[in-house]
Amino acid sequence: MTAKPILRTQYQFMMTKRLLPFLFLLPVLCAHGQQGRPVVKTITQYTTALGTDLRISKTGTLSSRSMPQPLETEVCIFIDPSKTFQSVIGIGGSITDAVAENFAKLPAASQQEFLDAYYSKDKGIGYTLARTSIHSSDFSSGSYTYVKDQDPELKTFTVAHDEQYRIPLIKKAILAAGGKLPLYVSPWSPPDWMKTNNSMLKGGKLKPEFRQNWADYFVKFINAYEAKGIPVWGLTVQNEPMATQKWESCIYTAAEERDFIKEYLGPTLKKNGMAEKKLIAWDHNRDQIFQRANILLSDPEAAKYIWGIGFHWYETWTGSGMLFENVKLVKETFPDKQLIFTEGCVEKFNLDSVKNWSLGERYGYSMINDFNSGVSAWTDWNMLLDENGGPNHVGNFCFAPIHADLKSGKLIYTNSYYYLGHFSKFVQPGARRIAASSNRDLLISTAFINPDGKIVIIVMNKSEKTLPYHLWMYGKSSETTSLPHSISTIIID
């Protein structure tokens, strides 16, 4: 039930006759550097596939040959590194109270395994971004705030609660990531006495008379964390501002969020020397992302404070599929603003389902389409939950890429971890997305060029079919194959 995070580098899966023509073991030099085109030295493929032992495993070094014009009958992924789009900021996951509490309950060896699995480039998948909550969320053992009741001046403000589990883990994560880990922070609800329903739970709204106090609360939190050696890169205005949940939640219409930003939160951050913090609006699903972004960003006084628009993937609760075109429309309409995926997880945890291949495929499908829609950063939800999918103080148990079996002290890896790793391990901060096009709907792809010049191509196959295809660039073709229910990362160096 467990799998080690150490990524296999040996060519180790059982070859079959149908795959032999498509995998090549000898590096080749493709000398076609004219017109500024990259000189290709090696093409290396890494694969994760259902029904195999492949988990981000090196599955071959591809050769290349001349192919001026592919035929329509030939399956191809077309790449053009000269056509560039948005830059990548980072890929990572959220360090919630639940994650930190589970981490603290693990034996030391499993704690180190967890840190290596997520933050090491060599031993793990090299996360470069993090999110955490401003006081409690549903993934806390209970509701709490940083101030006592009826303290509008915030004189009692303290983050002492977080010093038990969350702050120590964030500090360890920063060290494991090499000393730098951009962190953004999100509130699920103001304190109950600031709200119209007098509860942190079940929606309600921020009372108008406490708008400035709540803006000051953000500043207090950022200052408190930074005083403890945890830099804060950015913040979101409100987690899921259109959802009345049984857990911590607070409702803002688009107009209310716009006015809170331009009249209170934006000016308060600027006044306190925090104008450089990345202010992220919406932080909810793709279904209404354009309506929200259009209201917020069409107002110059609000837009000047907003760095970008964040979103989740839970629009599927309505029965809809994932609405990537809405994300793309925001980028096309407001190209100077950033897009960031702020949360996604698979809900309704069941321990018997931790090996379900669909868990990872949801991540791969979302990430490829989100990046192709203009996203600059992508953040998973909980990084570590227990064998019950928690803790969660309202029973909203969910899947994580890694679960902790707290009885044995072992880590359980779902295939989500590996699907995420096909992006985070290879796509570096500062990479630019480049043109990638598939001529078959069974193969979906995205591609990047890293700051060091290496080209990273990610190809995913959700079908039951083995699909031989050509990776085509500048009149050259490398033949390979996509296994059923697989994801591959191909590095052109």
Active site (catalytic) residues:
240, 343
Closest CA to 425 of 6, 93, 126: 126
On the question of a cis peptide bond just before residue 27, with omega within 30 degrees of 0, the verdict is: no
**C-alpha to C-alpha distance for 376 and 246, rounded to whole angstroms:** 31
**C-alpha to C-alpha distance for 249 and 283, rounded to whole angstroms:** 12
Phi and psi based region of residue 366 (left: phi greater than 0; alpha: psi -120 to 50; beta: remaining): alpha
Please name the helix (run of DSSP H) or strand (run of DSSP E) that holds residue 214, with its range, or none: helix 211-227
Neighbours of 35 (CB within 10 A): 7
Give every CB contact of residue 365 below 8 A, 6+ residues apart in sequence: 322, 444, 460, 462
Q: Do 344 and 381 meet the contact criterion of CB atoms below 8 Å apart?
A: yes
**C-alpha to C-alpha distance for 184 and 278, rounded to whole angstroms:** 8
Please name the helix (run of DSSP H) or strand (run of DSSP E) that holds residue 97, with its range, or none: helix 97-105
**Pair of tokens at residue 179:** 């000393």
**Pair of tokens at residue 46:** 């890494």
Closest CA to 434 of 487, 371, 488, 480: 371
**Pair of tokens at residue 222:** 């950022």
Pairing outcome for strands 443-449 and 455-461:
antiparallel
**C-alpha to C-alpha distance for 236 and 283, rounded to whole angstroms:** 7
Distance from the Cα of residue 436 to its chain's centroid: 21
**Pair of tokens at residue 95:** 């360090």
Closest CA to 131 of 383, 471, 466, 376: 383
Neighbours of 29 (CB within 10 A): 10
**C-alpha to C-alpha distance for 405 and 111, rounded to whole angstroms:** 12
